[in-house]
Structure 1
């Protein structure tokens, strides 16, 4: 688990050491995310633009 100022901001999940297994796992997660976003009518480019707009200027 990762925290920032005592608030949980993410979890780290160990992945298998075999590179082929890692790639397959990432592809599976990406496919599942694509389904979830599509089901909710989310356009990935709009999502990315929203994150970019919300990010503080450096």
Structure 2
């Protein structure tokens, strides 16, 4: 894989572009390489897989305990509406 050499100032100025790229970057200072930035890929896919697994586990737990999700959502919405209402003086 090809590495791009850039100065430290350029690296800082264009950091968002380097993060979005899949190309490793050799960071230089006064012409000498002082470090490397190696972007990672696939982490988002691993996070998504973990969230899907957690969702499946939660679905199984809710089903095992006969939890009515619609009732919970309704209760949550009611609690939010009540929390947003301005309180009367003396409450």
TM-score for both structures, normalised by structure 2: 0.41
Other structure's SS at 1:41 match: coil
User: In the TM superposition, what is the alpha-carbon distance from 1:53 to its structure 2 partner?
Assistant: 1.1
The two structures, once aligned, show a CA RMSD in angstroms of: 1.7
**Bigger radius of gyration among the two:** 2
* C-alpha distance in 1 between matches for 2:52 and 2:68: 19
Specify which structure has the higher proportion of strand. 2
TM-score for both structures, normalised by structure 1: 0.60
Once the two structures are superposed, residues 2-57 of structure 1 have per-residue CA deviations (whole angstroms, 9 ceiling, x without a partner) of xxxxxxxxxxxxxxx70110110111111111111111111222211111111212
Unaligned runs of 5+ in 2: 1-41, 86-91
Unaligned runs of 5+ in 1: 1-16
Other structure's SS at 2:84 match: coil
* C-alpha distance in 2 between matches for 1:45 and 1:23: 25
If asked which structure has higher relative contact order (CA below 8 Å, sep 6+), I would say 2
